[in-house]
Structure 1
Amino acid sequence: MIAVPALSVSALAVFFAAVAYGTLAGLLLPRAAYRLCVPAEETWRSDCPRGHRLTGAAGGWLGAARCGASPACGVLPAPGARRCAVLTALVCAVLAAGTGARPELAVWLALAPVGVLAALVDVRVQRLPDVLTATMAAVAVAGLGLVALGGGGRYPGALLAALALLAFYAVLFLVNPAGMGLGDVKLAPALGAALGWYGAWPVFAATMLAFTAGALYGLVLKARRPRADGAGTAAMIPFGPFMLAAAWLTVAVTAAGR
């Protein structure tokens, strides 16, 4: 008879608290996603497509994306609150299930909503805004630094991994700018720091997983929408979500193994 280890009350409490946190944080993302979903040369949105001011948009970024003028404007082209809540709660659940009650979980949960927001924007307009990638890098480096003060983890390794992954993606961008976006390069330090906290192997594993998943998605996309000249397929693939998903999954699996 195989004995199944029981989850402690504290582990269950942390898990459900993380899911609740992710749900509430996700509900705050639609307005920010709508405002950030613009081409690089355009300013962030502050009104609906018909020019009406968004509800609470005067200096506000969090909450639902609603037009403050009239329901006649219809639904704004923004991700729904339910979708944002489910995605963020799922990410937080995976991270909490793998990491448990370790102190670095606070850093992963702080990064999760920003990462989901970045993925939503990247899917819609194929760009990762600097405000999001810079925030994630700052949270990862500073947050893990605070956790390292209490012992545990590999903070020097996390910093080295952040720089190494940044350099790796920068080289790819310089070699083939059409196949790798600059936003992906700027996202790399945050993910490198998180993965490097557990060692060098998670960095390699997550990178390979992201490229494998991205390549498979590209093949499926090309098969469904073939082009006569075969060009332009790479430009249609937002790579940020693959980087984020691979990093989160690898962090959770690696932490669970320890």
Structure 2
Amino acid sequence: MSAPEPETLEDTDPEGAEIVPFTDEPWVPRIMNPEVGLPAAAVAAGVGALAFWLRAPDGPILAAAAGLLCAVLVILAVIDMMTRRLPDAIVLPAYPLLGLAAAAAALAGEVTWAQAGIAAACMAGCYAVYWLICFFTGGMGWGDVKLAGVLGLALGLAGPWDAVYGVLVLPMILGGVIGFPMLFRGGGKVEMPFGPFMVAAAVPVLMMPDGMVPWLMDLFR
């Protein structure tokens, strides 16, 4: 999950070890470190290129949007793992950019306006579900909530079930499968970033919506 902004001069993990000194953007020093940034950029570029290639039959606008978003999601996962943050500076601009991409895709005939409307509804629905979880349980951070809306919009362009599985179902399953054993190692309490699970679930669905969703529907039937 994404932690709230630190109120002290440095952020710490639950064991008291320093994560990163407090700055206006505390994730920047970590991702700009060549030891982290270069491998992360290479993986992000590879994932983005693969997503673009796989989505190319859907049209250049959708392919470019999927490729760019997948690359950004990889970077977000790395940032969240290292700093427990999903920075607004990266997440929030994705809303208008994806909205413009959806409108452009509709104008180009790559999707219908009805599909764009469904995507907007998926954005609102995914955001609302994560907001409720965050507000009533505190089990997620507000960064996760904001990212859920972005993923709902992106996946919803392919259909509502893409958003349901990619944003609501798979991340919870992945988080549970990995988090449950950690409860026994952490004495019954464990804190872990949720963003990487969201990314791990959403990226395959973004890459292969026509293949992943039918397979998932058969799997959970």
Question: What residue number does 2:36 align with?
Answer: 79
Superposition map of 1:228-239 within 5 A: 230-231=188-189, 233=190, 236-239=191-194
Query: Is 1:252 aligned to 2:212, yes or no?
Result: no
* Larger helix fraction of residues: 2
Query: Is 1:191 aligned to 2:151, yes or no?
Result: yes
Structure 2 unaligned residues grouped into runs of 5+ = 8-21, 215-221
Query: Is 1:171 aligned to 2:132, yes or no?
Result: yes
Q: Give the greater-gyration-radius structure (CA).
A: 1
Instruction: Provide closer, same or farther for how the CA distance between residues 189 and 226 of structure 1 changes in structure 2, counting only shifts above 3 A.
Output: closer
- Pick one of 64, 85, 91 that aligns with 2:47: 91
% identity of equivalent residues? 28
CA drift of 1:48 comes to 7.3
One-letter code of the match for 1:134?
A: L
- Pick one of 142, 147, 151 that aligns with 1:182: 142
Q: Conserved in 1, the CA contact under 8 Å of 2:27 and 2:85?
A: no
Instruction: Provide closer, same or farther for how the CA distance between residues 182 and 97 of structure 1 changes in structure 2, counting only shifts above 3 A.
Output: same
Q: 2: CA distance between counterparts of 1:150 and 1:176?
A: 42
Superposition map of 1:20-169 within 5 A: 40-41=6-7, 42=22, 43-44=24-25, 65=33, 79-81=36-38, 83-101=39-57, 102-103=59-60, 104-153=62-111, 154-169=115-130
| Secondary structure of 1:100 counterpart | helix
Q: Conserved in 2, the CA contact under 8 Å of 1:99 and 1:256?
A: no
**How big is each residue's C-alpha offset from its partner over 1:4-24, in whole Å with a ceiling of 9 and x where there is no partner?**
xxxxxxxxxxxxxxxxxxxxx
**How big is each residue's C-alpha offset from its partner over 1:175-218, in whole Å with a ceiling of 9 and x where there is no partner?**
111x1111000111110011100111111111211110111110
**How big is each residue's C-alpha offset from its partner over 1:48-92, in whole Å with a ceiling of 9 and x where there is no partner?**
79xxxxxxxxxxxxx9547xxxxxxxxxxx6141x2133213422
Q: TM-score, normalised by structure 2?
A: 0.75
Question: What residue number does 1:226 align with?
Answer: 186
Question: What residue number does 2:14 align with?
Answer: none
Tell me how large the CA RMSD over aligned residues is.
2.9
| Secondary structure of 2:86 counterpart | coil
Structure 1 unaligned residues grouped into runs of 5+ = 1-37, 50-62, 67-77
Q: 1: CA distance between counterparts of 2:28 and 2:150?
A: 31
One-letter code of the match for 2:134?
A: F
Instruction: Provide closer, same or farther for how the CA distance between residues 48 and 180 of structure 1 changes in structure 2, counting only shifts above 3 A.
Output: closer
Q: Conserved in 1, the CA contact under 8 Å of 2:51 and 2:206?
A: yes
Q: 2: CA distance between counterparts of 1:254 and 1:196?
A: 10
One-letter code of the match for 1:199?
A: G
Count the aligned residue pairs.
190
| Secondary structure of 1:238 counterpart | coil
Q: Conserved in 2, the CA contact under 8 Å of 1:39 and 1:125?
A: no
Q: Conserved in 2, the CA contact under 8 Å of 1:198 and 1:254?
A: yes
